[in-house]
Amino acid sequence: MLEHLQAVPPDPILGVLAAYNQDPNPNKIDLGVGVYKDEEGRTPILPSVLSAERELLERQTSKSYLGPTGVTGFNEAISRLIFGADSPALNESRIRTVQTPGGTGALRVAAEVIRTANPDARVWFSDPTWANHTAIFPAGGLQSGTYPYFDPDSNGLRFDAMMEALGQLGPNDAVLLHACCHNPCGVSPDESQWREIAELAGQRGFLPVIDMAYQGFERGLDDDNLAIRVFAEQCPELIVASSCSKNFAMYRDRVGAISVLASSAQKAADIETVIHSLTRKNYSMPPAHGPAVIDIILHDDALTAQWRAEVGDMRDRINGLRAGLVARIAASGVERDFSFLERQAGMFSFLGLTVDQVQKLREQFSIYTVNSARINIASLNQANLDYFVSGLKSVLEG
């Protein structure tokens, strides 16, 4: 039977990484990979996480099964973090959060929850979106489509076109939105635009599904959930898929959560049983280590303060790099206006290069990006910024 299987081509980003790893050029830069890096190019364990891991090691007496909800202290703390501690829906017990294996796991469970509720539902993605969205939701049994989002001419949002497309949708549709730090384009709606989108969702009755993989990386932990708070006010139902991979730097521990806001406390409780039944058939129970660590951090004032400062440092470094990059590109004499990089946020932006220019960057300068010219800003640092700008200038002028 298995001889019928054919090899699947690798993810293009892995090809970029493999080529980078083999390149002997000491000045090489990998702008493809999607993890945060510090000024030294490392992705260290956050000190708050390390302290909590030590404490967990002391405290933990058993690794017996926890059950389908996983670490309940984590679920409760994440609900407060992503909806805001003063969320009316939280006080009305209309929100249920269940930990999942990473944000990816949360998205897959979300797809299955939607399919269980309505097998004919269609999910709509921003054009463009994180490539894995377009794989996860069909794998979870849903049909999909796209709505206009990024405008490569202005490097901003196609808000009117987006609203027109969303205005055609209704109760059989789910709309996937990025809460902040849009991957891959770095562009988010502003507050009044979020309010208009949420109002439209309320009027048309489509289900908002919010992916929050970068809380704390745009304006701050308490501001980056703006979209979620606005949708929770305007819509009776909402799904949030959140990830702790970036803001706790716990990528390989696979920590995330699905949160469902329902029209009543009873409905929320019912939906949680649906989530448990779906995950039971898949991975049975979620992994506990990462959530147990985060449970410790978020229930300890000193560790919470330390972690918040660490997230602030990562955000400030990215925003500082964005400003530095814009200034150095302008100072180098490049004619094209790159000031949009400072108006965008998070780790990712498009440089707006052709595939030919991307290849020249790779071949002539050992600067690696995916063909879309999406770059991870956090891969830059004071030591490689000038080299990157000289490579960029050369391919733009060549």
- Active-site annotation holder among 124, 130, 194, 307: 130
Residues 251-290 that bind ligand PMP (CB under 6 A): 251, 256
Q: Is 366 helix (H, G, I), strand (E, B) or coil?
A: coil
Q: Which residues in 330-361 are b (16+ Cβ under 10 Å) and which e?
A: eeeebeeebebbeebbbbbbbbebeeebbebb
Active site residue 124: no
In the bound complex, which residue of the shown chain has the CB atom lying closest to ligand PMP?
Answer: 102
How big is the site for ligand PMP, counted in residues (CB under 6 A)? 13
Q: Are residues 243 and 178 in contact, defined by beta-carbon separation less than 8 angstroms?
A: no
Name residues whose C-beta falls within 8 Å of residue 218's C-beta, 6 or more positions apart in sequence: 180, 181, 188, 224, 315, 345, 346
Q: Which member of 103, 216, 287, 346 binds ligand PMP (CB under 6 A)? A: 103
Partners of residue 145 on adjacent β-strands: 124
* The token pair that represents 105 in the structure block: 């796991």
Q: Which is nearer to ligand PMP, 130 or 150 (CB)?
A: 130
Catalytic residue among 173, 211, 224, 253: 211
Among 70, 102, 290, 291, the residue binding ligand PMP under the rule CB under 6 A is: 102
Of 123-142, binders to ligand PMP (CB under 6 A) are 130
With a CB cutoff of 8 Å and minimum separation 6, the contacts of 369 are 16, 31, 32, 351, 353, 358, 361, 362, 375
**Between 102 and 128, CB nearer to ligand PMP:** 102
Does 211 participate in binding ligand PMP (rule CB under 6 A)?
yes
Question: Toward ligand PMP, which CB reaches closer, 215 or 245?
Answer: 245
CB of 235 to ligand PMP, least distance (A): 21
Nearest in space to 278 (alpha carbons), one of 97, 110, 65, 34: 110
Strand order in the sheet with 122-127: 95-101, 255-261, 238-243, 207-212, 173-178, 122-127, 143-148
Residue 243 interacts with ligand PMP (CB under 6 A): yes or no: yes
Stretch that binds ligand PMP, among 9-17, 74-82, 101-109, 270-278 (CB under 6 A): 101-109
Q: How far is the CB of 214 from ligand PMP (least distance, A)?
A: 7
Least Å distance between CB 217 and ligand PMP?
11
Q: How far is CA 154 from CA 120, 241, 283, 346, 352, in A?
A: 36, 29, 44, 18, 11
Among 245, 344, 357, 379, binds ligand PMP (CB under 6 A): 245
CA angle 18, 21, 24 (to 5 degrees): 135
Figure out which of the listed residues 183, 225, 259, 349 binds ligand PMP, where binding follows CB under 6 A.
183
User: Are the C-beta atoms of residues 44 and 38 closer than 8 Å to each other?
Assistant: yes
Residue 77 CB, shortest distance to ligand PMP, in Å, is 17
Residue with Cβ nearer ligand PMP (11 or 164)? 11
Residue among 141, 139, 197, 136 nearest 165 (CA) = 197
Residues 23-42 that bind ligand PMP (CB under 6 A): 34
Q: Computed over its alpha carbons, how large is the radius of gyration of the chain?
A: 21
- Taking CB under 6 A as the binding criterion, the range among 102-110, 190-198, 265-273, 283-291 that sits at the site for ligand PMP is 102-110
- Catalytic, 246? Answer yes
> Catalytic residue numbers?
130, 211, 246
Binding site residues, ligand PMP, CB under 6 A: 34, 102-104, 130, 178, 183, 211, 213, 243, 245, 251, 256
